[in-house]
Each structure stands twice: as C-alpha cells, then as structure tokens.
Chain A
C-alpha cells in the first residue's frame, strides 16, 4: 500500500498548498526553525531561573500536547473524513470504488499524518536547536537525543488520542471507564510520596538517561495504543439509520436574542450530533489545558501562585478562542450558498455560537480560580479570560474568515497571528507582575477586537469563498 501512502502525502500537501500557495505553506517549517533557532539563544537566561531538567519537562509536555492536538483535531468518531475534509472527495474514500479496505485506509491515514506532522513541526524544531547548538554550548549528541525524545513524546500524545478516539467511536461508556482508570492511576503516580512519576516517563528518560531498553519501552508506549486503535477501528455501520426530532424551531426561539438565531441553532445541533462537542471539549480543551496547568505548576516554585494562575487564565483564553475552529471545521460555505446569507452574516453567527460555547471555559476558569486562590481573584480572572478569548477570536476572524483551521499553516497568517496576539499578551503579563488587578486592563482589548471583527467582515465579504 505504498502507493496509497505516497498519494495521500501528495494529496495532503496539495490540500494545504492550493489554499495559500506552495511557497507560503513551505515556509511554515522554516518559520518554526527560525523561532526555535533564535529562542535557543535564550537558554542561558532560562537556566538562571529554571533548572535544565524542568525545562526538558516543559518542552516534552509541549510535544505531548502537540501530538494530542494534532491527533484530536478531526479524529472523533466515524466522521473523521467528513468533518476534516468537508465536501472534498479524497483518497480516504477510495474503498467505495477500489479494492482497499477501510482499515488499510485508516492505517495509511494515521501513518501519513504522523510523517506529515513530524516533518512539519518536529524536525524544524529539532533542526533549529541543532543548528544553534554550537553557539549555545549544547552538545550535538544531546541535540539528537532531544530530537528523538520529542519525536517519541509527540507520537505518545498522538497514539493516546488515536486510541481514545477509536474507543469513543465504539463506545462512550468504555472510553469513560478507560479515562477514569487512567486518571486514577495517574493521580496515584503523581501524588505518591517519594515518587517523581514524571521522571519515569519513557520519552523523557530517553533524553535524560538514554538506554536502548528505555527507548524500546517508549516505542512500546506508542505502538500498543496505535495497534489497538487499528484493530478496534470500526467503519461506520450503515445498518440502523438514526432519526431525530426537529430541533431548529425550538432552539431558534430559545436563542432568539442572537441575530440570525437559526444559524446558531444549526451550529449547536451540528456540534452535538457530529460528536464534536464532547470530543472537542475533552481533546482540544481540557486535555491541553490540563497539560499546560501541570507544566505551569512547575513555575509555581519560582513566581507567585497568583501570577501562575493569571498566566494560565491567559492561555485558557487563547485555547478557548480555538473553539471558533470547532464551529467552522465541520461547516462548508457551500451549505449556505443557496440561501440569502453573506459571509459576514455567517461569521456573526459563528461568533454568537462561540459565545454559547464559552459557558464551558467560564465554568472551568471559575473552578480553577476558586481552587487556586479563592474568590479574591475570581472577577479579575474572568475579565482577563474574556478579554483575551474575544480578542484572539477577533484576530482569527480578521486573518482567516471562515477557514481558521487551514489558514493557520500560512506563514504570513501565522506570523501575523503571533504578533497581533503576542504583543498584547506580553504587555498584560508585564502589568500582572506589577499587580494582579491590572488584569482588568484586558477590557481595553475590546476596542481593537471590535475593529478587527468589522474589518474582517469587509475583508471576507469581498472575496470568493472557497468551496470544493
């Protein structure tokens, strides 16, 4: 099936490069390389405040998170292909007309994604570090070990998500049970007296205490979940067709305070029935934030806890803004092309649907703040989170319109996003170091957010909307 794999790789490349040009997309790994290369020169600075071991933990955690997010995005239930590829006809559907089994296609799809994202993300990261190593004093062998460790970390995150998502597609009850058991075991390991469970994480051990045995164990930690995923993967059954009650009139009425409430009603129905809602909350929101919280906790020994909390709230705001991607990833404008709906109207409805979804992070931020610091910082946390999330949303709308998930790989767009969100975030973090109550200054982001959204309306209304 090498032909299938190579053609899937070609297809993935053309899918992205036709969106924003081959050169723009090809520059994306170059951008990653450049960021890491320049960031490597800050290592001596990091070492004055953060032990090298903790830095390795943070970077390892980041790559696990990357694997989780890459695997989690679009890999839920049997709607993998439809949700990610919309109306496009792709090699993933080859089993309809060619003698190729769906499991074979799924396996090739998984391997293709692994290779593709390692080349796109992991190797440029490692290359930036390796090229900087003569100047930063890091040995070449350490660089190679780091590359191996990060690759294994990425694959561990990816394989875990593949397993969880295939379990999810087979039985939500089994998934729930597996997650519960995993959390209990993790909790026992992390909070057992005298055991630093993190240091026994195999991909991290590959970097810290390399041995072939540890490397084999790390590979096993990846191969077993992958193998189980492939074995239990189930193509969609065409036996029983489910029927549903008409929810549009009811929801449109309940959401009548929103402009274009039928569009919002449709989004919520779509999100719920596609299985995207629960899955996205788990894999694209809670899991990444759990990992971020865990690794920020490492900083708790170095900076005041309230500052850690508020930095976490800022990161939650940015992660919350990605819920806009949840609402657009399953939708294609071709569904609306027959109706009197312009792009700006659709964007408005997505923002309204996004607002409904923010009930999840509101609860999350509130609980985390109350647990970490009591009620004193509840209002500042919520104001800060709200400001950041809507500002990041506005930047996303302006830069990407209705296609945030694909256009993020456009180097120009990614750079603009990093600059437009990074600068205000850095300013706010600086203010927080003076006083946590400066978090309330986040409301000022409402002004540029409003401007960006309306500029986005004008910008995207004037363009042909890509449809397959």
Chain B
C-alpha cells in the first residue's frame, strides 16, 4: 500500500456551513504529513472524518485501505489518535487510563508499556493522580501515550505540541521523526508553521474548507523558500483570486 490515506471529493457540511469542501489528497506511507491552515479551515473536521468520529457528507476517504464510512471502529483499532482537546476520563488516574486503553486494545504487558511512557514523557509522579487534577500539559502527555501504546502504523494528531513546554516539544518532535524513520506514518494537523517546516516531509494547506496546496517541504527548501512565507502567499493568492 503506497498511500495510507486517500480522499476523493471529501465533503462535510454542518447545516449551511461547509467545513470541508470537496477535498482530494493522499498521504504516502512513511510520511510525516502536516495539515496546515488558519483557525476554522477544516483541519479538525478532516481528522475527525478520517478517524470515523464524524460522518462524511459526500465523497469518500480510506485509511489503511479501509473506508471510513464502512468501518470507523476498525480504523480506530489500527491507528493512534490525539484529539484537539485532551479528554481523558476525569475520575480515572493517568495510569488507570492507560491500563484502560491498553485493555480495550488488548495490549499484552501493558504495565511495562505504560511505565515506559511515564518515564519517557517524565510524568511518573502523576501516574496515581486523577485526570481531572492533571494540568493541560500532563493531560496532553497522557493522550500522546495512549495514542502510541499499541505502536500504530499510523497516528493522527491534532495540534500535538500546543500544551508542551519547549523541552517537551523538542523531545516529542524527535520522537515523531524517529517513529517515522522506523516505519510508521504520522499525520499532524497544526497551525504552528515552524513545527511543520521543521519535521514534516509533506504538507497540505487548507483554507475555509478548501484544499489550496499539497507538496513536499523538501521542494520548498530546494527553492530556498520558507514554509511560513509560502503559506501566507498562498492564502493571499486565494483571497485575491
């Protein structure tokens, strides 16, 4: 399978509002793909459709060869997901949430796996604390851990670094790069262009539900263009066009 995500004329409407408007693109296996766009451009809606959390209005999409409409639970069994808002259950502890996610995914040796994540993301002292009492950054760490517990072939992450301090951001970026190098695929949605420029191999730009551009960050680098400048110029062209 060369393309791990494929969409054809994918559309999502909420009443009279078109959040995603006839978008066709694909994500190559082994890519660290960045979906970029201003606030409200449709990035989160796109991820929710690809992970089966919200139904498609029209068009089609497949993830790992599975139609998102036909088997959304099947997709979620194979991929890792970090939603835009960190939402672990309030009254479970951090460790319990990972045990719970591990039990649902039938991960063997879950205790060992969770211990590794607590050490790696440096929140071992929070393992027995209720999720509702965790800071936003710690909840984000927890969601990151739950997304990668089962070492998925594909992870879809909405704003992965937004609640992290600079030290943790560096660590997580390095993790993403090495994960992809080891054979995984990561799809991130972000409006922080510097992050995308630093770690993504491919990217797409959305604006007001429409796909403006898809391409490789390497191609921009060859033309000595920076992603932020390219991004703003495409948005301007679109608004004048």
Contact yes or no, A335 B104, CB < 8 A: no
Q: Which residue on B lies nearest to A242, using beta carbons?
A: B130
| Inter-chain contacts of B129 with A (CB < 8 A) | 241-243
Given contacts A245-B128, A338-B76, A464-B55, contact A262 B91 (CB under 8 A): no
* B73, B74, B85, B147: residue with the most chain A Cβ atoms closer than 10 Å: B73
Residues in chain A near residue B128, CB distance under 8 A: 243-246
Question: What CA separation (Å) do A270 and B87 show in the bound complex?
Answer: 14
Residues of chain B within 8 A (CB-CB) of A269 are 91-92, 96
B101: CB under 8 A from chain A? yes
CA distance A342 to B70 in the complex (A): 12
B103 touches A274 (CB 8 A): no
Contact present for A341 and B99 (CB under 8 Å): no
Supposing A82-B132, A262-B100, A340-B74 touch, asked if A335 and B105 sit within 8 A by C-beta, the answer is: no
Least distance between B56 CB and chain A CB atoms (Å):
10
- Nearest chain-A residue to B81 (Cβ)? A338
* A180–B27 alpha-carbon span in the complex (Å): 66
State the Cβ distance, B82 to closest chain A Cβ, in Å: 7
B5 sits at the interface (CB 8 A): no
Contact A244 B147, beta carbon cutoff 8 Å: no
Q: Which residue of B lies closest to A266 (CB)?
A: B100
- A252 beta carbon closer than 8 Å to chain B: yes
Find A248's partner among B51, B81, B99 (CB 8 Å cutoff): B99
Task: Count residues of chain B with CB under 8 A from any CB of chain A.
Answer: 38
Contact present for A338 and B91 (CB under 8 Å) = no
Across-interface contacts of B132 in A (CB, < 8 A): 82
> Does A14 touch B at the CB level, under 8 Å?
no
Of the residues B73, B100, B130, contact of A342 by C-beta under 8 Å: B73
How far in angstroms is the closest Cβ of chain A from B69? 10
Q: Among the listed B74, B88, B90, B147, which residue makes an inter-chain contact with A274, where contact means beta carbons less than 8 Å apart?
A: B90
Let me know if A421 is at the binding interface, CB within 8 A: no
Q: Which residues between 105 and 159 of chain B lie within 8 Å of chain A, taking CB atoms? A: 105, 111, 128-130, 132-133, 143, 146-147
Q: Which residues B67-93 have CB closer than 8 A to chain A? A: 72-74, 76-77, 80-83, 85, 87-93
Known contacts A248-B96, A266-B92; is A340 also within 8 Å of B105 by CB?
A: yes
Q: Which residues of A contact B99 (CB under 8 A)?
A: 246, 248-249, 262
Select which of A242, A246, A270 is within 8 A of B89 by beta carbon: A270
Rank and list the top 3 A-B pairs by shortest CB-CB distance, nearest first: A340-B77, A262-B103, A243-B128
Between A and B, 12 residue pairs with Cβ closer than 8 Å are: A241-B133, A242-B129, A244-B96, A245-B128, A246-B96, A246-B99, A248-B96, A262-B103, A262-B104, A270-B92, A342-B72, A345-B73
Starting from the known contacts A241-B133, A244-B96, 4 additional A-B residue pairs (CB-CB under 8 Å) come to A82-B132, A274-B90, A340-B76, A342-B72
